[in-house]
Structure 1
Amino acid sequence: MRPPRPQGFPNIAGQLLNRPLAIHPHKAEVLVCALQQRLGIVEMKTIDGVTLEAKEMLDRADFARKDALARDATYSPDGSKPYRMDGNIAVITIEGTLVQKAGWLDAMSGFCGYNMLQRQFEAAFEDSDVLGIWVEIDSPGGSVAGLMQFVEFLAMHTQSMGGKPAYAWVNEMACSAAYAIASVCDKIFGPRDATVGSIGCVMVHTSLAGALEENGINVTVIRSGERKYRGNQYEDLDDATMEKFQGAVDATRITFANLVAMGRDIPVDDVLATEADWFEGEEGVRLGLMDEVLTERQAWTRLEDEVDRIKQERRRAA
């Protein structure tokens, strides 16, 4: 199987701008800054935490693109597994901003694609050598596009649905879309400073109308059909479009909350009551968003014990 062809920032921007997002608010600022800079919408003229992170993202993306193109030119499948194995445990890492089609914009450049994650999990669920899956997560979330389909697939193949045990380890952060993935794993563990939650949705709209007017640029939108091209960056949002965008994010939040309620076996009203806030360690456990605060070694041992139990059951059945 050949690796995905380069998609690039225009493709990513299409998923992240004017679309519902399940992402930590700070990371949303960084993404918008990086995408606007790369697409020529704004220039980075100030130095702060957001612009520094955006600059780092762009630099990493440039390096990842060159590296991926070089590898693609000489790509030769070797039949190796698309994940690291430790005994009978497959280790799958979810890191960076989540999008539907990341292409070469992988974790090295700060992005992770649902399509590639699904391929990894499909292979792990089908692999007879794999008896358990360790899901290491450090992600602020990302695009809603592609998320629900992937999470539903994952939920249907975990131990609770008769498949293989999947234990999520929050290696710093599992927020928004990343928490949606964690929530359907059989267990969620993390250290005391693990950050989870942000069960909500946001949409970012950029209007250039003021900047264009200030620079003496007049953009005329000629439309056939009153709703055609509404929500574009050249016009301020009209009331009907704002209402439509608000409806989209509200509906996504409800779907997200129901998903978490199912995966974590807690009332949906309790999930909605978090108001899309994020929580650390023990507070996440108290709210039912995590199972327990443990060290990585302790959490790994829990999965090893479950894998040993499965081995014993198979031996007895044989």
Structure 2
Amino acid sequence: MSDEWKSPSSPERDDAGDAKSWKLLEKTLLASVQEQRRSRRWGIFFKSLTFLYLFGALALFSPLMDFGKGASRSTSHTALIEVKGMIADTEAASADNIVGSLRAAFEDEKTKGVILRINSPGGSPVQSGYIYDEIRRLRAQKPNIKVYAVITDLGASGAYYIASAADQIYADKASLVGSIGVTAAGFGFVGTMEKLGVDRRTYTSGEHKAFLDPFQPPKADETAFWQGVLDTTHNQFIASVKAGRGDRLKDKDHPELFSGLVWTGEQAVGLGLVDGLGSASYVARDIIGEKEMVDYTVKESPFDRFSKKMGASVAEQIAMWAGFTGPSLR
């Protein structure tokens, strides 16, 4: 018998078989892993596609639904517009939203009167001024449609700025009204920087370009300048309130009337800041004479809110982090 012949159970044949088995197992595992990766990629793709589809549907149909509600008005009514929360460009109570609602209400031939239901601490003097001017313009254009401001919990600062443009103002006896003043707040980190041993290096092409930098000590001339900006804005606010309220202000020279203090609705009646006490339902029913109220408030869709959040600039976020947001009627 040849010495080269090997039995089927010899070590060489076992090693060859094991190698083939391991290679086959390895190929099977690799194929399984690749299939799982492929499945995950397709899963992510289809989830993303579904999200984009729903997102697009919200963007497309939300305005259409709002239009449909507006087109169905066929009876006389009181137009209701909510002024709620901060008055700012990116908030629900922005000038674009409130002015758009006001114009829609005035253009509707069935509108017998307009109620601005206010619950706001104030906000941007620019946004408040835009709304104030538009109320005055619309009132002059259509004097038969009266505008009533109804303050619920709070009608302060920029919110009262807006209210003062109305024909009449109503509030609850416990409402907080007034705060006719301007504020601009920030932080100073100079002492903290010194304790940490950190130097601030700012390069500008203008002598006062960085005068609001919280990491540098304030300068007397720049502080005086900034106070002048706030005083000018405050005087604009006071002039607008006096123009809107006229002789209804009991004492225009009251030392604290324009000091930034707030009063209850009951106290505000005595000062002439408010014409009477009552709710939106009371005004619609007993003052306007049309108890049915139709809401003209702009309802932002999820798409609109998402877009505004995505559109916030990096500079704005840094300013907010630093504690400076510009003059504010609060």
Extract unaligned runs of 5+ from structure 1.
Answer: 1-68, 107-111, 309-318
- Measure, in 1, the Cα distance between the counterparts of 2:76 and 2:253: 38
Per the alignment, in what secondary structure is the counterpart of residue 74 of structure 1? helix
Larger relative contact order (CA 8 Å, sep ≥ 6)? 2
Alignment partner of 1:287 is 2:268 = no
Gap change, CA 1:197 and 1:164, over 3 Å in 2: same
Say yes or no: does 1:204 pair with 2:185. yes
* Kept after mapping to 2: 8 A contact 1:197/1:276: yes
Q: 2:208 aligns with which of 223, 227, 230?
A: 227
Contact 1:182/1:188 (8 A) holds in 2 = yes
Distance change >3 Å, CA 82–CA 292, structure 1 → 2: same
Give a deviation string over 1:173-206, Cα, whole Å, max 9, x none.
1000000111111111111101111111111122
SS of the aligned residue for 1:224 comes to: coil
* Equivalent residue in structure 1 for 2:282, among 288, 298, 312: 298
Which residue of the other structure, out of 74, 77, 86, is the alignment partner of 1:97? Answer: 86
Shift of 1:133: 0.9
> Which of 262, 265, 269 does residue 278 from structure 1 map onto?
262
Report the CA distance between 1:251 and its aligned residue. 1.0
Q: Please give the alpha-carbon distance, in whole angstroms, between the structure 2 residues aligned to 1:134 and 1:296.
A: 7
TM-score normalised by the chain length of structure 2: 0.63
In 1: Cα distance, 2:185 partner to 2:97 partner = 25
Q: CA deviation at 1:129?
A: 2.6
Preserved contact between residue 116 and residue 148 of structure 2 (Cα < 8 Å):
yes
Aligned length: 233
> Is the contact made by 1:83 and 1:90 (CA closer than 8 Å) also made in structure 2?
no
Q: CA deviation at 1:261?
A: 0.9
Do structure 1's residue 175 and structure 2's residue 156 form an aligned pair? Answer: yes
Which amino acid in 2 is paired with 1:291?
D
Amino acid at match of 1:285: V
- 3-state DSSP class of the match of 1:98? coil
Tell me, yes or no, if the aligned pair for 2:121 and 2:154 is still in contact at 8 Å.
yes
| Equivalent residue letter for 1:270 | D
Are the counterparts in 1 of residues 123 and 157 from structure 2 also a CA contact under 8 Å? yes
2:143 is matched with: 162
1:90–1:132 contact (8 Å) kept in structure 2: yes
Identity, % of aligned pairs? 25
Is this contact kept in 2: 1:160–1:186, CA < 8 A? no
Task: Encode CA deviations 1:209-267: one digit per residue, 9 max, x unaligned.
Answer: 33333333322112222122211222122112211111111111111111111111136
2:77/2:113 contact within 8 Å kept: yes
- Long gaps (5+) in structure 2: 1-53, 293-330
Secondary structure of the corresponding residue to residue 284 of structure 1: helix
Q: 2:95·2:131 contact (CA, 8 Å) conserved in 1?
A: yes
Pick from 116, 123, 145: which aligns with 1:142?
123
TM-score normalized with structure 1 length: 0.65
Aligned residues of 2:180 and 2:261 also touching (Cα < 8 A): yes
Shift of 1:291: 0.4
Distance 1:143 1:188, change over 3 A: same
Q: CA deviation at 1:80?
A: 3.7
* Separation in 2, partners of 1:213, 1:131: 64
Q: Equivalents in 1 of 2:193, 2:288: separation in Å?
A: 59
Structure 1 residue 82 displacement after superposition: 7.0
